[in-house]
Structure 1
């Protein structure tokens, strides 16, 4: 993972626009002050705070230092490259955009300092440091209930401004569920950890298109993956952030991953959690997983296939459960602490919660759809014209 991040650093750095000598000096100075994600804008530094009052009194409109508030915003570099997958390019773009939002806070502070010192203008920059987003790619899939409220029965992962990734079996609810007015989900809720009572105002988006994988044939428990397109794009922020797709056919993400969802949080009952839950679980070897689950095979599922993976705690106690379906199995991208504090976190989604035998039982790991097996299909829909 660290090697991949270092590779990303050098790839992104290679596509930067040619800087003037002065701009390079400013950039190198800021790089010495802290690690960066390969882009550092060439902003003016804050006005010299050692200028005394007599000097200030002589400043006029023509002798003021250059106004940093007038600097144009940075332009996103072109991260495309021959042979590079669109999903990898988009991952670089999302990371650049996150860093740019952090840099914008710095630019706003520089502008504020300038205006306060030379123009006598004071204002408040606020609201961004109140609640870091731990899993900002999480979206809750909502069905209209017979009482005209929302029922959130599945999770999803935001992977672009207009698409989420989820499980195929989350594309329709059971017609036997008497609580639901329509088996087709209608909205996805973003930006909150608590679905019912959260200090952040939720961002709800209507679903315009539901695209299950063409090989998903319920009740068979294979190819359990789907995309949902939103009517309107979401705006990325600290609490709404896309996840990157793990596109390599390997286990370079490590031995431990995190599962998240609003599902059942206590084995033995069906009470779901309004608060987003997270648990760390282990990736289980496919051969071992087949042995553990052999007694549970049936005509709908007869063993782990290459497009599936297993994860759980073999001693039991931590697992995905009902209501967590469609949510991500993820690993965290190791950002520097200052970026997480300001703009939240980003993750690689490596799996989609599919099914399990019971919940959190010993020697019965959960089964997840392996995201890397479906990169071509995802890219051809989400980024078809790019």
Structure 2
């Protein structure tokens, strides 16, 4: 067996030195380059590994505290959508998701009232926005996975509920500017993964998504004229706007000519009639991975907008890739709970 792999190892070494996207042996760890250090103890592991230019493979012998590969048989579905939904007989409009099309989308409730959105990043941990949690305690919040129609209990795959036991807001969150607007919700028990409930991939640190067309899915009001939350899960595709352009556009709004877009925010949208409106706060902005239109990673978290669906007025999102170093240590806290697995990085 070792003779068979020898030429392959040499070939892979040549690819590694070329700087191009490369494949790694399944016994290696494909991680961000800055994480391939002996002092680093938290890694992503994939049995089939493809490294980007920003990643490198670490030999097992150089890794201290290596975490065993996830054993859950559904890990292969991580970040994978159900493009046709799980109920092909259900008719939907263009602005609606198909049933369980995006299985990482979470619905947050306070006393049976819809609060906002979130994303499942490991079975016992939800990523959301800090601004929707102000003045709330963990006991106030229930998280629902596998939901699609808030008005119906007749779902093909019944949703599951979990109680929040801990809220962790980013310590530098600023409500006025929306800087560092993210929070983690620790659940009383992990969700059971399946076709209708799955985790979303997280991006490598500092990855950008400029000019990509990405998607937001959740529940909310699609215009300022709406008075009730739309019960069917909504979706909208939005172009990601470069930060300098977004700041220029937002300075033309009531925010004023001196507005400074925080470095922790990114922008998307600004197309008339197609934008994220009220009560989508905390929902994920997710983008398809290169070469696979049905597999996604989370780029942002809905933060705030000025107006709704106005041309040249983008919505702001917390830039998730800027917070990998903040998220990773807290992920360790839930890995000891049966059913939790590592979120993969692209």
The answer, yes or no, to whether TM exceeds 0.5 is yes
Does 2:188 match 1:231? Answer: yes
Q: What residue in structure 2 maps to residue 190 of structure 1? A: 145
Runs ≥4 residues deviating over 6 A: 334-337
- Return 5+ residue gaps in structure 2 as ranges: 1-19, 30-46, 50-57, 79-84, 89-98, 336-346
Does 2:302 match 1:378? Answer: no
Rounded to whole Å, the distance in 2 between the matches of 1:227 and 1:80 is 32
CA-CA distance at 1:192 after TM superposition: 1.8
CA-CA distance at 1:184 after TM superposition: 6.5
- Return 5+ residue gaps in structure 1 as ranges: 1-5, 17-36, 40-78, 102-127, 145-149, 175-181, 338-344
1:97-108 equivalences under 5 Å are 97-99=74-76
Which secondary structure state, in structure 2, belongs to the residue aligned with residue 309 of structure 1? strand
CA-CA distance at 1:136 after TM superposition: 0.4
CA contact (8 A) 1:328 1:350 kept: yes
Rounded to whole Å, the distance in 2 between the matches of 1:305 and 1:349 is 19
Q: What residue in structure 2 maps to residue 214 of structure 1? A: 171
Identify if the C-alpha distance between structure 1 residues 201 and 210 changes in structure 2 by more than 3 Å, giving closer, same or farther: same
Rounded to whole Å, the distance in 2 between the matches of 1:143 and 1:313 is 30
CA-CA distance at 1:99 after TM superposition: 3.6
CA-CA distance at 1:168 after TM superposition: 0.6
CA-CA distance at 1:153 after TM superposition: 1.9
CA shift digits 1:200-226 (9 cap, x unpaired): 311000000001100113234211110
Rounded to whole Å, the distance in 2 between the matches of 1:274 and 1:365 is 25
Higher strand content, 1 or 2: 2
- Structure with the greater alpha carbon radius of gyration: 1
Which secondary structure state, in structure 2, belongs to the residue aligned with residue 246 of structure 1? coil
CA-CA distance at 1:268 after TM superposition: 2.2
Q: What residue in structure 2 maps to residue 27 of structure 1? A: none
Which secondary structure state, in structure 2, belongs to the residue aligned with residue 217 of structure 1? coil
Q: What residue in structure 1 maps to residue 114 of structure 2? A: 152
CA-CA distance at 1:130 after TM superposition: 5.0
Identify if the C-alpha distance between structure 1 residues 241 and 304 changes in structure 2 by more than 3 Å, giving closer, same or farther: same
Rounded to whole Å, the distance in 2 between the matches of 1:231 and 1:135 is 23
Rounded to whole Å, the distance in 2 between the matches of 1:250 and 1:234 is 28
CA contact (8 A) 1:247 1:371 kept: no
Bigger Cα displacement from structure 2, 158-167 vs 266-275 = 266-275
Higher helix content, 1 or 2: 1
CA contact (8 A) 2:269 2:275 kept: yes
Q: What residue in structure 2 maps to residue 322 of structure 1? A: 278
Which secondary structure state, in structure 1, belongs to the residue aligned with residue 279 of structure 2? coil
CA-CA distance at 1:253 after TM superposition: 7.5
Rounded to whole Å, the distance in 2 between the matches of 1:12 and 1:195 is 45
CA-CA distance at 1:265 after TM superposition: 2.1
CA-CA distance at 1:313 after TM superposition: 3.5
TM-score between both structures, scaled by the size of structure 1 = 0.61
Identify if the C-alpha distance between structure 1 residues 265 and 80 changes in structure 2 by more than 3 Å, giving closer, same or farther: farther
Number of aligned residues: 270
CA contact (8 A) 1:309 1:351 kept: yes
Does 2:111 match 1:140? Answer: no
Rounded to whole Å, the distance in 2 between the matches of 1:232 and 1:307 is 30
TM-score between both structures, scaled by the size of structure 2 = 0.67
Identify if the C-alpha distance between structure 1 residues 185 and 362 changes in structure 2 by more than 3 Å, giving closer, same or farther: farther
CA shift digits 1:222-271 (9 cap, x unpaired): 11110000000111110100001112323258611111110102342232
Q: CA RMSD in A?
A: 3.7
Rounded to whole Å, the distance in 2 between the matches of 1:129 and 1:321 is 27
Q: What residue in structure 2 maps to residue 49 of structure 1? A: none
CA shift digits 1:157-216 (9 cap, x unpaired): 000011000001121369xxxxxxx89742001012112214131100000000110011
CA-CA distance at 1:297 after TM superposition: 6.1
CA contact (8 A) 2:138 2:166 kept: no
1:291-310 equivalences under 5 Å are 291-296=248-253, 302-310=259-267
